Chains A and B, each alone.
Chain A
């Protein structure tokens, strides 16, 4: 099935070094502007369903503020316990100053 890109936020809402949680098609998605790149990942930790939006982003990963699981922003891979399953990642593009996410 072909991916559908949906507007998630204006680029001005996610300056470098920040993140923003958005809801698209019933999914909670976290936009992260890190390492000069935009990422879109699931906002829900795969370990205990906690929200990741208050977690620290650093060196290409986000850490869950609840129990410390970390996920690679680019791939969603769980980097350490207590998470073992990855989180979903989504394709991102910028069109006319709008961040669009493929669901």
Chain B
């Protein structure tokens, strides 16, 4: 194919090899920073994966959602909670995915289990969905059947009436549990590959390098999005939409020259540089404008600092220097060894199927998306902002979730940065229109850019892989 350059020259490139003409690459921007970036930042892993349309049925057909619950959610590793949610033996956190529910609990100082959240008598949930707490036993609120923290049966009320129940076999069934970087992952498929294999060696090395186990959740906000969970996830996979959807951000975001990478089947990422002008706006703004418009997910750490540009300074460097100092002070952490890029840029990683990790400092989030089991046109979105644990080592307790109603603005969540909340509101409005538009469309599928939307294609290829598998509904034998 041919690509026209800014000087009107036409060059021939293979499919997927074209990049934003006339703009520096993400790697070139980062290479100019004062404090250099680590290897996981300075690498690229793009792969062309075809250019055919993606069928729209997967977003609008409730039958497809049913297939996902039988084939995909029952086989994939999912982020259930942070270790900090369950620091002591007996602490538990209920993780719900569609119709499934798990009590994720610490059974020993270094052992975490995930029990199917249902009494083995007549099926009542042993703990209400979406709750957490601490237990010395799990007692059913209906008839009082009780299990020890280690999952063994403790009591069958009126056991004389149940001679056919072998209590030794009536232990709570478990899902697989693994931990990485302070995250507790579960998988219903007992034959699933280990989490490290699922992530792949390259992505696992990135995650290990971030040391996210040394962070804690300081803000946790949950809200339903008015669209299918896959549409919603895909809205966060590219910076292509920034110029139209979030024009206020584009002034300080290298959107069209962001970098996109894929790692195996289950992980992909983008790096979107901040503190630089969007290629869409070249010639229209000054470095002063960039400095003024810089958006942070955690601007609370900066206080009311005045942003001033010195002679010959770049907005990107001023923000890096300022943010390093202010953030160290605000959070009692040492960031002297952290690169400018890690401080400023947006690093967005997807762990299939539904978790986003952002290891940066200025945009330090975790996203989790879960389908609404009662409505394939809606999903539950959570954003958790992470901060480094203070250097004095005292780990603050993770924030209690704030649940917004469908009608509320993200800016109404206490502690939410107003600029960041406004961005999420803009995304919400798009998703409502996209869900309805796909249903109204005469076109069979969605069309994707080869480079900027590679994460969407990568994600949907893996969706297709799981949907092509036979159903795998979890069942255990108790006789």
Q: Please tell me which one of the listed residues A56, A69, A82 contacts residue B134 in the complex, with CB atoms under 8 A apart.
A: A56
A48 partner residues in chain B, CB cutoff 8 A: 141
Chain A CB within 10 A, most for which of B91, B128, B137, B400: B128
Contact: B128 with A81, CB < 8 Å?
yes
How many B residues are at the interface, by size bracket? 20 to 34
- Kindly report which residue of chain A lies nearest to residue B87, judged by CB atoms: A58
Cα distance, A48 to B91, chains bound together (Å): 21
Contact: A63 with B141, CB < 8 Å?
no
Contact: A60 with B400, CB < 8 Å?
yes
Mask for B125-142, Cβ within 8 A of A = 1, else 0? 011101111111101010
Cα distance, A64 to B134, chains bound together (Å): 8
Contact: B128 with A68, CB < 8 Å?
yes
Cα distance, A64 to B141, chains bound together (Å): 12
Q: How far is the CB of A51 from chain B (nearest CB, A)?
A: 12
Known: A65-B135, A65-B136. A80 touches B130 (CB 8 A): yes
Cα distance, A66 to B132, chains bound together (Å): 13
A61 partner residues in chain B, CB cutoff 8 A: 400
A79 partner residues in chain B, CB cutoff 8 A: 131
Chain B CB within 10 A, most for which of A67, A68, A80: A68
Known: A47-B141, A48-B141. A55 touches B400 (CB 8 A): no
Cα distance, A65 to B88, chains bound together (Å): 14
Main secondary structure of the interface of A (DSSP, over half): loop
Known: A47-B141, A54-B136, A82-B141. A70 touches B400 (CB 8 A): no
The yes or no answer to A59 lying at the interface (CB within 8 A) is: yes
Contact: A67 with B139, CB < 8 Å?
yes
Q: How far is the CB of B44 from chain A (nearest CB, A)?
A: 42
Q: Please tell me which one of the listed residues A47, A55, A58, A68 contacts residue B131 in the complex, with CB atoms under 8 A apart.
A: A68
- Kindly report which residue of chain B lies nearest to residue A82, judged by CB atoms: B141
Contact: B139 with A66, CB < 8 Å?
yes
Contact: B134 with A63, CB < 8 Å?
yes
Known: A47-B141, A67-B139. A80 touches B131 (CB 8 A): yes
Cα distance, A82 to B128, chains bound together (Å): 7
Contact: A63 with B139, CB < 8 Å?
no
The yes or no answer to B397 lying at the interface (CB within 8 A) is: yes
Contact: B131 with A70, CB < 8 Å?
yes
**Interface, chain A (partner B; CB < 8 A):** 47-48, 54-56, 58-61, 63-70, 79-82
Return the 5 tightest CB-CB contacts between A and B, nearest first: A63-B133, A56-B134, A81-B128, A67-B141, A68-B127
**Interface, chain B (partner A; CB < 8 A):** 88, 90-91, 126-128, 130-137, 139, 141, 397-400
7 contacts between A and B (CB under 8 A): A56-B88, A56-B133, A61-B400, A66-B141, A68-B135, A70-B132, A82-B141
